[in-house]
Amino acid sequence: MIESRTTQRFREAFAALPEGIRQHARRAYSLFRRDPHHPSLRFKKVDEESNTFSVRIGLGYRALGVME
């Protein structure tokens, strides 16, 4: 299982999203916890140097994270 943590910056950005997008994000995160490689998430590395990954939240939203 992948362990994840959020930053203060992430929590502030998340709180500023419309409620509908926050609901999509919660569902995507739940799916990510069960299966990070589920095709609908499009989980992929976007920057080799910083080890940054992207996961799809909806058509116009992505979440970024750094893998340690």
One DSSP character per residue, 20-42 reads: HHHHHHHHHHHHHHH-TT-GGG-
Domain count for the chain, please give it. 1
Residue 1 domain-assigned (yes or no)? no
Residue 2 domain-assigned (yes or no)? no
Work out the pLDDT band at 3, boundaries 50, 70, 90: confident
Residue with tokens 């940054």: 52
- Domain, as residue range, for 12: 8-66
Query: pTM of the full predicted structure?
Result: 0.80
Query: How many residues in the chain?
Result: 68
Give 30-68 pLDDT, tens digit per residue: 998 899 889 999 999 999 999 899 999 988 899 988 888
**β partners of residue 47:** 52
Residue 30 domain-assigned (yes or no)? yes
Residue 44 domain-assigned (yes or no)? yes
